[in-house]
Structure 1
Amino acid sequence: MEKLAHHARLEWDGSTGDGYRVYPREHTATAPPAQASLRLSADPHFRGDGSLLNPEQLVVLAASSCQMLSFLALAARKHVTVTRYTDDATGYLSEDLRKASIELIELRPTIHVAQGTDEAFIHDLVEQGHEECYIANSLRSTITITPTIVVAP
């Protein structure tokens, strides 16, 4: 069986010849066949442009997006009516920059469901979604999920 592959391309131009303080951090990322292009930079802590996304944010976004997509797939298969899903996710870098990592990712989804939906079942689907999430399974970061379930009146 052939492995499913995902391709990405980065492009950077500049010069590091004048040292760490002045080389440009901005770069462009694409992932064919998607047509979207992202302008990225380093985190401002590492002399990047805070108005652009950075790799650390992309990891947090990937974990959040994958969790949502895994959960929604499970809900759809169980014919559970989910009408809205938002997540305010946060990633925390390690303090030891010699072994730099995103140690913890906190996902805090708010999930709106139809009237009469069993909240405990939604919590079970959130946990199952986490267990099936490719990104969560690929990271060594601790990922916590604290969902808020909103049942329609």
Structure 2
Amino acid sequence: MSDKNHEYQVDLNWKEGRIGMLSSPELEEKFEVATPPQFDGGVEGIWSPEHLFVSSASSCFMTTFTAIAEYSKLNFEDLKVQATGKLDKVDGKFVVSEIILKPELSIADEKFVDKARRIMEKAEEACLITRSIKSEVHFDPKVTVVALN
């Protein structure tokens, strides 16, 4: 990544009620967003801003981890990241007060468990999204060794 500024354009077009359509001139796929069902007028079954906020933290961890793992020549079999955002009222206003990231990494060789943990921790520290938000981020990584067939 170069040191110059980067921009990421996202466009939102309101459809109806509490539903809009997200798109980007840089991407082909579009998808609906809506107020989450926990709020008055919220809509079930559609991604909400809260889902997108939490997913930005988990996907940033994944992309940062895969870059560092590639650079460090760490082979892995699988990576799953469970992420939970907690919404609380602070000073009378709703905020995402914390995000809990629970990545689970599967590797084939037990001798690389410590290296894998270090790389996961580096990725969590280097993730530009979690460094950019006010929410507290809790990190609970797990590395498992899987038998290859």
Q: Structures share a fold, TM > 0.5?
A: yes
**Is 1:135 aligned to residue 129 of structure 2?**
yes
Counterpart position of 2:109 = 115
- Report how far residue 83 of structure 1 moved: 1.5
Residue of structure 2 equivalent to 1:40 = 33
Q: Tell me the distance in 2 between the aligned counterparts of 1:26 and 1:128.
A: 38
Q: Partners of 2:78 and 2:46 in 1: how far apart?
A: 27
Structure 1 letter corresponding to 2:124: H
| Corresponding position of 1:85 | 79
| Aligned mates of 2:126, 2:43 — CA distance in 1 | 34
Percent sequence identity is: 25
Q: CA deviation at 1:97?
A: 7.4
1:58 to 52, 58, 71: 52
How many angstroms does 1:117 deviate by?
3.9
Query: TM-score, structure 2 length as denominator?
Result: 0.89
The answer to whether the aligner puts 1:9 opposite 2:11 as a matched pair is yes
Which residue does the alignment assign to 1:49? Answer: 43
Query: Unaligned stretches of 5+ in structure 2?
Result: none
For residues 30 and 91 of structure 2, the distance between their equivalents in structure 1, rounded to whole angstroms, comes to 29
Query: Per the alignment, in what secondary structure is the counterpart of residue 82 of structure 1?
Result: coil
Between structures 1 and 2, the one with greater strand share: 2
Separation in structure 2 between the aligned mates of residue 48 and residue 117 of structure 1, nearest angstrom: 49
Over 3 Å off, 4+ runs: none
Q: CA deviation at 1:26?
A: 0.5
Confirm whether residue 98 of structure 1 aligns to residue 100 of structure 2. Answer: no
* Amino acid in structure 2 at the alignment position of 1:30: S
- Per the normalisation by structure 1, the TM-score is 0.87
The 3 A distance-change label for structure 1 pair 132 and 94 is: same
Number of residue pairs matched? 144
Unaligned runs of 5+ in 1: 15-23
Q: What SS does the aligned partner of 2:98 have?
A: strand
